[in-house]
Amino acid sequence: MLKYPLAILAICSLLISCGDKKEVNRLSQENEKLKNEIEQLKKEMYSAKASANSANFLAAQLKGIKTRIITNYGNMVAEFYPETAPITVASFIIRAESGFYDGTQFHRIIPGFMIQGGDPNSKDNDPSNDGMGGPVLNIPHEFNTIEHTPGVLSMARISNKAAGAGSQFFIMHATTPHLNQEYTAFGRVIHGMDVVQKIASVPTNKKDPKLQDHPLKPVIIKRMEVYRD
């Protein structure tokens, strides 16, 4: 009479035991997964901290540096915002100091908007390739809250944001809100806005679509002088 109830109890005991093992295994796997996630978060935290320290160090080194942009239309002096765009500012200053921008042109001029330059292609005698050149290595964007108002320096880019920014930059001639947080603003003209106005007023090509907004006469960046106050 007790044979079958004992068998049933044994089976139930076995099922409970198996269920416990499955639960233990599940909890063990969840625990291991959680440990791995914690380790990954620690690594990311340390990496973020290292990046922040590097950015802060770079910003401190760049503080107070200015550049004088000497053109055939006059001179402009720009200050920078390394706290908000340290990589962009460092890249611009290094290129300016090395002579990269010397002899380039403001190849795209749109009054009531901006003047754009910094393309190494603009050093040659072929205006059709202006706007298509740049350095071998691009830098990441550093979009920020600086507004695109007259005199602000900002980095040009292509539509693909993942491509980063090259060497081309523009100087704002007017307030243009739709550029905010879509382009990396990194400095401002503090002396020579009259020169920006002169350059923005030069006659540009309106007939040839390939040379749209290209100045009829070259607007040349003779050189840039980098200095610290």
Separation of alpha carbons 167 and 146, rounded Å:
20
Q: What is the pLDDT of residue 36?
A: 77
In this prediction, residue 74 carries a pLDDT of 98
Residue 3 pLDDT exceeds 60: no
Distances (CA, A) of 65 to 60, 94, 229: 10, 11, 7
CATH of domain 64-228: 2.40.100.10
In the predicted structure, residue 62 carries a pLDDT above the cut 80: yes
pLDDT at 83 over 80: yes
Amino acid present at 90? A
Domain boundaries, the chain: 1-62, 64-228
- H or E, element range at 226: strand 221-228
| pLDDT over threshold 80, residue 1 | no
Confidence of residue 30 (pLDDT cuts 50, 70, 90): confident
**Residue 10: is its pLDDT beyond 70?**
no
Which value, to the nearest 10 degrees, does the dihedral of the CA atoms of residues 110, 114, 119, 123 take?
60
Top pLDDT among 58 and 25 is at 58
The pair of three-digit structure tokens given for residue 157, joined into one six-digit string? 């880019």
CA separation for the pair 216, 104 (Å, rounded): 15
- In this predicted model, what pLDDT tens digit does every residue of 92-110 receive, in sequence order? 999 999 999 999 999 999 9
| Type of residue at 180 | N
- Packing angle of the helix pair 86-98, 3-62 (nearest 10 deg): 40
Q: What does the alpha-carbon distance between residue 48 and residue 53 come to, in Å, rounded to a whole number?
A: 9
Summary mean pLDDT of the chain = 89
This prediction's pTM: 0.78
Q: What is the pLDDT of residue 175?
A: 98
